[in-house]
Amino acid sequence: MENRFQALLMGLVLGAAIVYLFMPIAKAPGPAGNRLAAVDRATGEARPETAAGDTLARVRERGELVCGVNQGLPGFSNPDDKGRWSGIDVDYCRAIAAAIFDDPDRVKFRPLNAKDRFTALQSGEIDILSRNTTWTMSRDTQLGLDFAGVVYYDGQGFLVHKDSGIAHAADLDGATICTQTGTTTELNVADYFRSNGYKYKVLSYEKNDEALAAYDDHRCDAYTTDASGLAAVRLKMKDPSRHLILPEIISKEPLGPVVRQGDPQWADIARWTLFALINAEELGVTSGNVEEMKSSDSPRVRRLLGGEGAYGNAIGLSDDWVVRIIRHLGNYGEVFERNVGTNTKLGIERGLNALWNKGGIMYAPPIR
Amino acid sequence: MAGAAARDKRKIGLKWSNPAVRSVVYQAALIALVLYGGWFIVTTTQANLARLNIATGFGFMDNTAGFGIVQSLIPYTEESSYGRAFLVGLINTLMVAGIGIVLATILGFFVGVARLSTNWLVSKIAWAYVEVMRNIPLLLQLFFWYFTVLRPLPAPVDSLSPVEGVYLNNRGVVVPSPVFGESSAFFGIVVLLSLVAGYAVLRWARKRQSATGEIFPAWRTAIAIVLGVPALAWLFGGAPFTLDFPAYRGFGFDGGMRLIPEFIALLLGLTLYTAAFIAEIVRAGILSVSHGQTEAAYALGLPAGRTLRLVVIPQALRVIVPPLTSQLLNLTKNSSLAVAIAYPDLVAVFAGTVLNQTGQAIEVIALTMAVYLTISLVTSFLMNLYNARVAIQER
């Protein structure tokens, strides 16, 4: 009995020794009780500088930005047959890459489904999430993430079969609705039908294409997603003229880019890249005239383009950061028209997304 | 013996050359490492979650879910909590797994026996079934049933109706549902009593046979009692329930009971796939019983069916049950493929929608894993009990 006890003691000592040897690898203090308090403080304080903080430095070191985008949503993020991505969400990421590297192609796009997008950002797999993501309070406060602004003001609508005779959302009482799992649409549908006292059934598919196929096969009476998305998916249908987008918009969907909490500089870069795009449009700076505008007399334009002040420097970029963005991508209006505007297949009006002084609500704080 | 070993140990004492000492040291070292590893993972995770300001804990389970679920066996509305949504998903998983286990076992048994049939056609059909089913990935089979077989069915307006009141369309199968009336309780009691009576006949017959050797057609009698008595009660006491016929209204059928195509596709896929494996296990089990046993039974004058039932299968079960258990566990775990065809099982509802809305990946995934672990352990436990009953009783 005594022998066994001594052997056990020896084993524990040996175990502790092994653990001690492994410690430098695990980069964490050993299991000794009196160190516990120091551990938490050490990990709690030391880590933010390396893991969460300084995303910019890591992007620079890597030589490219990793941007989480939609797997395929025309106008927002969609790869063409050569694998080149395009869309508003894609161009926003390119704008950040242009601001950092002066090269809009130094972005690696990581297509994500709705369900996995936040985990990918939390875990550091991507630097920024630009995937038509609705800004909601719970997402902003509970996920350890921050929204950088609104790239596109959207709202949720319904797509129905024309021959079903449905003309308004009110006709959908008792209908089966197809949607994608892990989106705000699931909740909005529930809210809408509940508040109107309608009955409904909802089928949530993992992939958007599956939800759409189910709707196409009449498994569902209606397909629902953001109105901009509806215009895009209607084009994907075999015969778009047989489908109808209902006039009702049942929710507010401010879509915007998301970054991890704990890196204020990176959040500033994300936020002000967006504001720079909008301010450029307001000040009439376009990809065509940005070089001439550098010598503009307007102090507002000069501040925007780095002629006055050191605004780029303040967020860890060069002072001509906006010039780089506009040169490669144009201003917000150009990005909008190129990807979803009236001359594209989607043919979406500016509407809410027009500038504040042109009837919309796009408004960016000034650079000064 | 034991005393001598203890004396030896004491003689060798606390030296490295003593194997007992070495093993204790190794084990203690291993335990220390495992504990440290676990502690390291937990504290690191906690620290990281706190650093990233990600909410932790299971408090979210009481929050309002706010989303709808297409199939729910318990009352569930959008105002229900995430915890309720978890239950709905869990019950949906248990339902498809439970029914699947019963059907797959029965079908697997028949196919396994059919493969050994002396009838050439029967055995070849069984062979073809097994080879096709077990060699195609389950996910593809699910897609086949869901997208190719059930989807192209007509829309609700043009439903197929093989029998009055039964409708088949791309929204599933709708059948009349029973509505229980006043005489239901009486009828229920009659059914219960007839079941007890049937069981009593079986027991009595077995006892009498062991005592006297006389054979009584127990099964036939029992079935006649179980089916006949309630039928008489129905005839004389009136129907115990009325049928609620589904009616087409607006977007689909109102009333009646329905099975959604997602459920049907998942059940079909799981059952047919797993049954192929079970068939092979049953075949192996039967082949493991020496042919001499069959010959001996025939020599005693037992007919083929009774030989199979009384001589071969009881011995084959000893070989069948342990691998059968793993197949049943596989079926349960494979039911998580439901997410691919939008059946609202635990993974789709809880590890899908709830996870996405709360963002609490660690809690949600841990709970989901714990659920599957528990279901599997319970299934194993029950099957082990059964295995102990059919195992060779050593004397």
Question: Is B32 in contact with A16 (Cβ distance < 8 A)?
Answer: yes
- Residues 143-162 on A with a CB inside 8 Å of B are 143-144
Question: Is B28 in contact with A115 (Cβ distance < 8 A)?
Answer: no
What pLDDT does B162 receive?
A: 81
Residue A172 lies in a domain: yes
B301-311 confidence digits (pLDDT tens):
999 888 988 89
Residue A363 lies in a domain: no
Question: Is B359 in contact with A142 (Cβ distance < 8 A)?
Answer: yes
- Residue where a domain stops, chosen among A50, A69, A90: A50
Q: Which residues of A36-45 are buried (b: 16+ CB within 10 A; e: fewer)?
A: eeebeeebee
Residue A366 lies in a domain: no
What pLDDT does A41 receive?
A: 40
Distance separating alpha carbons of residues A191 and A285, to the nearest angstrom: 42
> Nearest CB to B27: which of A11, A40, A261?
A11
Here the CATH number for the domain that contains residue A224 is 3.40.190.10
∠ Cα B196 B197 B202 (to 5°): 100
Asked if the model's pLDDT at residue A9 lies above 80, the reply is: no
> Nearest CB to B348: which of A10, A181, A202?
A181
Give all strands of the β-sheet with A128-129 in edge-to-edge order. A107-112, A65-70, A128-129, A258-260, A145-147
- Do B101 and B35 lie in one domain? The reply is no
Task: Pick the residue from chain B with its C-alpha nearest to A29.
Answer: B40
Would you call A243 exposed, middle or buried from its count of C-beta atoms within 10 A (0-12, 13-18, 19+)? buried
Here the CATH number for the domain that contains residue B305 is 1.10.3720.10
- Tell me the pLDDT band of A22, cut-offs 50, 70 and 90: low
- Do A144 and A263 lie in one domain? The reply is yes
A135-191 confidence digits (pLDDT tens):
999 899 888 899 999 999 999 999 999 988 899 988 998 899 999 887 888 889 999
Asked if the model's pLDDT at residue B1 lies above 60, the reply is: no
Of chain A, the percentage scoring pLDDT greater than 70 comes to 89
Average pLDDT estimate for B243-270? 84
Distance separating alpha carbons of residues A83 and A128, to the nearest angstrom: 20
∠ Cα A222 A228 A230 (to 5°): 25
What pLDDT does B359 receive?
A: 80
**For A34-38, B208-212, B277-281, B369-373, which range has the lowest pLDDT when averaged over its residues?**
A34-38
What pLDDT does B169 receive?
A: 86
Asked if the model's pLDDT at residue A34 lies above 50, the reply is: no
- Residue where a domain stops, chosen among A251, A280, A298: A251
Residue A323 lies in a domain: yes
- Tell me the pLDDT band of B103, cut-offs 50, 70 and 90: very high
Closest chain B C-alpha to A8 CA, distance in angstroms? 6
Of chain B, the percentage scoring pLDDT greater than 70 comes to 96
Asked if the model's pLDDT at residue B182 lies above 80, the reply is: no
What pLDDT does B218 receive?
A: 82
Contact (CB, 8 A) for A308 and A56? no
- Tell me the pLDDT band of B366, cut-offs 50, 70 and 90: very high
Question: Is A7 in contact with B68 (Cβ distance < 8 A)?
Answer: no
- Tell me the pLDDT band of B6, cut-offs 50, 70 and 90: low
- Do B270 and B386 lie in one domain? The reply is yes
Asked if the model's pLDDT at residue B25 lies above 70, the reply is: yes
Please tell me if residue A28 touches chain B, with a CB cutoff of 8 Å: yes
Please tell me if residue A199 touches chain B, with a CB cutoff of 8 Å: no
**For A22-36, A45-59, A128-142, A242-256, which range has the lowest pLDDT when averaged over its residues?**
A22-36
Closest chain A C-alpha to B131 CA, distance in angstroms? 30
Helix or strand (DSSP H, E) at B178: strand B177-180
Average pLDDT estimate for B149-170? 83
- Do A128 and A197 lie in one domain? The reply is no
CB contacts of A214 in chain B (<8 Å) are 151, 342
Question: Is A206 in contact with B78 (Cβ distance < 8 A)?
Answer: no
Please tell me if residue A359 touches chain B, with a CB cutoff of 8 Å: no
Average pLDDT, chain B: 88
> Nearest CB to B53: which of A144, A191, A218?
A144
> Nearest CB to B353: which of A8, A30, A182?
A182
- Do B42 and B154 lie in one domain? The reply is no
Residue A84 lies in a domain: yes
Of chain B, the percentage scoring pLDDT greater than 90 comes to 48
Residue B122 lies in a domain: yes
Name the domain count of chain B.
2
Which domain range does residue A117 map to? 55-153+255-358
Task: Give the 3-state secondary structure of residue A294.
Answer: coil
Please tell me if residue A12 touches chain B, with a CB cutoff of 8 Å: yes
Please tell me if residue A131 touches chain B, with a CB cutoff of 8 Å: no
- Do A192 and A259 lie in one domain? The reply is no
B215-242 confidence digits (pLDDT tens):
788 888 888 888 888 888 888 777 777 7
> Nearest CB to A11: which of B29, B48, B155?
B29
Distance separating alpha carbons of residues B284 and A34, to the nearest angstrom: 60
CA dist B132 → B118, B129, B323, B335 (Å): 21, 5, 21, 20
Contact (CB, 8 A) for B54 and A146? no
What pLDDT does A32 receive?
A: 37
Please tell me if residue A328 touches chain B, with a CB cutoff of 8 Å: no
Distance separating alpha carbons of residues B22 and A314, to the nearest angstrom: 63
- Do A142 and A278 lie in one domain? The reply is yes
Cα of A82 vs its chain's centroid, Å: 23
The predicted complex's ipTM stands at 0.70
Average pLDDT estimate for B41-47? 88
- Residue where a domain stops, chosen among A232, A251, A270: A251
Closest chain B C-alpha to A195 CA, distance in angstroms? 11
- Residues 263-292 on A with a CB inside 8 Å of B are none
A114-145 confidence digits (pLDDT tens):
888 998 998 899 999 999 999 999 899 888 89
B190-202 confidence digits (pLDDT tens):
889 999 999 998 8
- Do A341 and A303 lie in one domain? The reply is yes
Phi first, then psi: what are they for B18, rounded to 5°? -80, 115
Residue B19 lies in a domain: yes
Distance separating alpha carbons of residues B307 and B30, to the nearest angstrom: 53
- Do A192 and A243 lie in one domain? The reply is yes
Average pLDDT, chain A: 86
- Do A149 and A186 lie in one domain? The reply is no
Question: Is A261 in contact with B43 (Cβ distance < 8 A)?
Answer: no
- Residues 111-130 on A with a CB inside 8 Å of B are 114-115, 118-119, 122
**For A125-139, A160-174, A317-331, B146-160, which range has the lowest pLDDT when averaged over its residues?**
B146-160
CB contacts of B152 in chain A (<8 Å) are 217
Which domain range does residue B31 map to? 2-51
CB neighbourhood size of B391 (10 A): 13
**For A37-46, A290-299, A359-368, B154-163, which range has the lowest pLDDT when averaged over its residues?**
A37-46
- Do A8 and A26 lie in one domain? The reply is yes
Asked if the model's pLDDT at residue B40 lies above 50, the reply is: yes
Task: Give the 3-state secondary structure of residue A226.
Answer: strand
Asked if the model's pLDDT at residue B189 lies above 60, the reply is: yes
Q: What's the predicted TM-score (pTM) here?
A: 0.78
What pLDDT does A24 receive?
A: 53
Asked if the model's pLDDT at residue A12 lies above 80, the reply is: no
DSSP letters spanning B197-253: HHHHHHHHHHHHHHHH-----HHHHHHHHHHHHHHHHHHHH--SEEEE--EEETTEE
Q: Which residue has the higher pLDDT, A78 or A206?
A: A78
A198-230 confidence digits (pLDDT tens):
888 888 888 888 888 889 888 899 999 988 888
CB contacts of A169 in chain B (<8 Å) are none
Residue B305 lies in a domain: yes
Cβ-Cβ contacts under 8 Å for A283 (sequence gap 6 or more): A298, A300, A301, A304
- Do B111 and B38 lie in one domain? The reply is no
> Nearest CB to B47: which of A40, A205, A210?
A40
CB contacts of B76 in chain A (<8 Å) are none
Residue closest to A203 by CA, chosen among B33, B349, B185, B148: B349
